[in-house]
């Protein structure tokens, strides 16, 4: 930390009453009043259980009359708000905090800025496929500039929950299944959000979440238990959060789930021993929404009072909207059931974060004018387009069907091709779907002649028919096409050269509380694809989705496939850039695509077992499904081709050097994401068959080649033994380098 605020913190603490201290711990959401009377928590619940969409949530938050509990604010009972995303309201409330409370302690405004504020970039899972820390940092910076202009001081991001189970809906919010990649992604986001100096007006606090291992929820069901060995926790899950702490993150959100029976919200060993004592974290912890009170449901706390006792002792500083601290702590401190020192520590963490964010020196970090001049700036849209281009993965390109030539006539099918709002993906609370360019609009803007193959969509003018459909609309539109399907498609696409089919998921089908037991495509979509293929025209599938999907039918039967994820405001333009070859795709999957739901969790860094899968009967496999992935981790194609040769592995004292030569063997320039993996053959505990050790994105002209080097430290190759000692011993290793996890050159080496 640059400055030491401890003296000022202690001085303030000395002046604060018990109630004022507790007030700093309270994060409040506005209640809606007037025609639509509902508390912020209830409104959040309505969004989570699908009664209202995220957009409706955003609209209600910005238009309905809101009650910010201003009397409580004046009385020093509120330290923070969640969900205030406009400069006028933020400044008005801040003025009350600064001028009308006894001590004038500024508020800190938190907000879910997950993949952009208003200029929405691809969902994190999509953006992670760029394997590009510089891009991640730049989009983080842009999000901070925009959100801070709207009065936001802290984002509840990045999410660095390693997610190996495609059934879990929140796969969309992180960087996929690998711990190293999540750490690189998270650290870059922290740097982007917090900027050069966190106290600058356009920097925002990064609240890293969800600590810890939320992505390992049993059976991929959201909020479910996490039970794993401490070794696995420390090797495969904790390092991504640690990378963010090391990058200077000033806030951490403990996760909803329990780990081995102790909910993270009251997990002292996690929040104090690991986070503070071992990792030296000096910022504040912010509970997840209502999570402290939910400790009663977990069955770890007898009642709300008990939840407050346990959480404050465990090191949970700020209570996001469950109000248990406000209701109980004063009496608990007075009666001696809570040690005031625990309360003081929590308050100090919050004050320190507010000092670091520059709020004491400049509580008003924005103005309505700055907000107006910042939101959706043209250069932001340019960066959003670049981010989308770099996130779209080319999964298949039989016979070089792509890129398309500009004079082709395109038949467009699948309702999401016409929907702007669907391009946002999950968790885009500050967004407006109307800002998005749909796929149909992007193609038209690129000069293509587009014929709509969808009932209810205007063929001449795709965007005019593209009203915002909700899920039921989508089903009815799809059904209309299914009746008399093949005939319809054949007639409609008669003079088209090619068909593009948008398939996948709606944005509400991934994200929080959106787990799926079945990750295959719905029957209607397969039926549509069959109808389109039956026309005899070449079909290109564009997938919009927030999780890996099981798509064996598509992989086998559709000649070209683009995985677009939910690409954000510039979706249609970025897709057109790729479809017409203005941009050569370079992204690679950060998550495995299984054949079927029953393979979940499926990930490349698995262990061998005593009976590695094979043809023989008694081996570890499924009788009805291949053991391999449809598309493996790290996979992605380009319009050019790359060849790998001359892998060399050299073991030094503390570092292994891996070099490999990569050449562009195709006819156009392209970017290749070169990946390096290792395997330790024998250990005191079994080790993964492959583990990512490094990656580098290189640009190569046609015919050009480059030698890429990776330096892997002994520490990186370490692991925990049965007694939880970190072991960095030598042994036999294989190092791999290649363009995806399944297809690499390899070399063996003995390390002493």
Q: Quote the least distance from Cβ 256 to ligand BGC, whole Å.
A: 6
Q: Quote the least distance from Cβ 254 to ligand BGC, whole Å.
A: 11
Nearer to ligand BGC (CB atom), residue 83 or residue 738: 83
Nearer to ligand BGC (CB atom), residue 54 or residue 463: 54
How many CB atoms lie under 10 A from the CB of residue 297?
12
How many CB atoms lie under 10 A from the CB of residue 451?
19
Nearer to ligand BGC (CB atom), residue 266 or residue 448: 266
Nearer to ligand BGC (CB atom), residue 112 or residue 146: 112
Core vs surface per residue 573-608: b (16+ CB within 10 A) or e: bbbbbbbbeebbbbbbbbbbbbbbbebbbbbbbbee
671 is catalytic: no
Nearer to ligand BGC (CB atom), residue 43 or residue 415: 43
CA distance 478 to 488: 12
Q: What is the CA radius of gyration of the chain?
A: 26
**Residue number of the CB atom closest to ligand BGC:** 156
Dihedral, 585, 590, 591, 593 alpha carbons, nearest 10: 20
Helix (H) or strand (E) holding 605: none
Q: Quote the least distance from Cβ 429 to ligand BGC, whole Å.
A: 8
Q: Do 76 and 20 form a contact (C-beta atoms < 8 A)?
A: yes
Q: If you write DSSP's letter for every residue of 199-264 in order, what string do you get?
A: TSTT--EEEEEEETTGGG-GGG-TT--B---HHHIIIIIHHHHHHHHHTT--EEEE-SSEETTEEG
Q: Do 168 and 217 form a contact (C-beta atoms < 8 A)?
A: yes
Nearer to ligand BGC (CB atom), residue 441 or residue 512: 512
Q: Quote the least distance from Cβ 156 to ligand BGC, whole Å.
A: 3
CA distance 85 to 151: 6
Q: Quote the least distance from Cβ 157 to ligand BGC, whole Å.
A: 8
Q: Do 252 and 208 form a contact (C-beta atoms < 8 A)?
A: yes
CA distance 429 to 62: 11
User: Among candidates 673, 741, 668, which has minimal Cα distance to 708?
Assistant: 673
Binding site for ligand BGC (CB under 6 A): 82, 112, 156, 209, 288-289, 512
Q: Quote the least distance from Cβ 214 to ligand BGC, whole Å.
A: 8
Q: Quote the least distance from Cβ 512 to ligand BGC, whole Å.
A: 5
DSSP structure class, residue 691: E
DSSP structure class, residue 402: P
Nearer to ligand BGC (CB atom), residue 61 or residue 564: 61
Number of residues assigned to the chain? 752
SS3 of 585, please?
A: coil
Active-site position among 132, 202, 222, 288: 288
Residues with catalytic roles: 288
């Amino acid at each position: 930390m640059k400055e030491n605020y401890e003296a000022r913190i202690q001085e303030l603490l000395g002046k604060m009453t018990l109630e004022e201290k507790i007030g700093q711990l309270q994060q409040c959401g506005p209640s809606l009043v007037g025609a639509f009377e509902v508390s912020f928590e209830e409104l959040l619940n309505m969004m989570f259980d699908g009664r209202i969409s995220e957009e409706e949530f955003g609209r209600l938050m910005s238009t309905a009359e809101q009650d910010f509990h201003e009397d409580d604010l004046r009385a020093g009972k509120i330290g923070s708000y969640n969900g205030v995303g406009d400069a006028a309201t933020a400044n008005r409330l801040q003025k009350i905090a600064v001028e009308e409370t006894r001590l004038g302690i500024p508020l800190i405004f938190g907000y879910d800025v997950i993949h952009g504020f208003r200029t929405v970039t691809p969902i994190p899972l999509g953006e992670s496929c760029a394997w590009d820390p510089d891009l991640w940092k730049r989009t983080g910076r842009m999000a901070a500039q925009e959100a801070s202009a709207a009065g936001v001081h802290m984002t509840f991001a990045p999410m660095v929950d390693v997610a190996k189970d495609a059934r879990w809906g929140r796969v969309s919010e992180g960087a996929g299944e690998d711990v190293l990649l999540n750490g690189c992604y998270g650290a870059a986001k922290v740097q982007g959000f917090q900027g050069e100096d966190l106290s600058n007006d356009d920097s925002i606090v990064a609240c890293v979440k969800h600590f810890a291992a939320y992505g390992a929820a049993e059976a991929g069901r959201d909020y479910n238990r996490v039970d794993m060995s401490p070794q696995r926790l420390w090797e495969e899950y904790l390092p991504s959060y640690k990378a963010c702490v090391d990058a200077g993150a000033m806030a951490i959100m403990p996760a909803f789930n329990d780990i081995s029976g102790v909910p993270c919200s009251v997990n002292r060993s996690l929040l104090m021993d690991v986070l503070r004592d071992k990792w030296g974290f000096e910022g504040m912890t912010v509970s997840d929404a209502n999570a402290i009170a939910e400790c009663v449901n977990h069955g770890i706390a007898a009642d709300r009072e008990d939840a407050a006792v346990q959480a404050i002792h465990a090191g949970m500083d700020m209570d996001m909207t469950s109000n248990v601290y406000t209701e109980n702590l004063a009496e608990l401190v007075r009666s001696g059931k809570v040690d005031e020192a625990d309360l003081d520590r929590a308050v100090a963490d919050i004050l320190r974060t507010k000092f670091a964010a520059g709020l004491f020196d400049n509580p008003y970090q924005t103005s309505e004018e700055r907000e107006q001049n910042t939101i959706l700036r043209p250069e932001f849209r340019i960066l959003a387009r670049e981010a989308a281009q770099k996130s779209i993965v080319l999964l298949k390109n039989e016979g070089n069907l792509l890129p398309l030539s500009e004079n082709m006539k395109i038949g467009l099918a699948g309702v999401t091709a016409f929907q702007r709002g669907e391009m946002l993906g999950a968790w885009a609370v500050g967004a407006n779907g109307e800002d998005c360019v749909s796929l149909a609009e992007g193609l038209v803007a690129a000069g293509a002649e587009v014929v709509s193959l969808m009932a209810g969509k205007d063929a001449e003018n795709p965007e005019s028919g593209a009203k915002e459909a909700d899920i039921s609309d989508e089903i009815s539109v799809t059904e209309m096409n299914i009746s008399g399907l093949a005939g319809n498609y054949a007639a409609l696409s008669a003079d088209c050269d090619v068909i593009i089919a948008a398939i996948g998921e709606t944005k509400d089908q991934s994200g929080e509380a959106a787990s799926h037991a079945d990750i295959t495509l719905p029957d209607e979509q397969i039926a549509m694809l069959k109808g389109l293929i039956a026309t005899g025209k070449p079909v290109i599938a564009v997938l919009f989705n927030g999780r890996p999907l099981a798509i064996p039918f598509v992989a086998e039967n559709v000649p070209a496939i683009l995985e677009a994820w939910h690409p954000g405001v510039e979706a249609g333009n970025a897709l057109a850039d790729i479809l017409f070859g203005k941009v050569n795709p370079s992204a690679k999957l950060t998550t495995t695509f299984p054949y079927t739901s029953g393979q979940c969790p499926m990930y490349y860094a698995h262990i061998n077992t005593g009976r590695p899968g094979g043809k023989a009967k008694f081996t570890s496999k499924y009788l009805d499904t291949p053991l391999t992935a449809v598309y493996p981790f790290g996979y992605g194609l380009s319009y050019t081709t790359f060849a790998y040769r001359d892998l060399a592995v050299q073991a030094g004292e503390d570092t292994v050097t891996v070099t490999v030569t990569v050449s562009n063997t195709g006819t156009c320039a392209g970017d290749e994401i070169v990946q390096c993996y290792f395997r330790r053959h024998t250990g005191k505990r079994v080790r993964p068959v492959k583990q990512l050790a490094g990656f580098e994105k290189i640009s190569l002209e046609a015919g050009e080649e480059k030698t890429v080097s990776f330096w892997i430290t002994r520490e990186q190759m370490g692991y925990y033994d049965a007694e939880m000692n970190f072991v960095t011993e030598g042994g036999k290793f294989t190092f791999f380098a290649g363009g995806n996890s399944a297809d690499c050159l390899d070399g063996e080496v003995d390390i002493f």
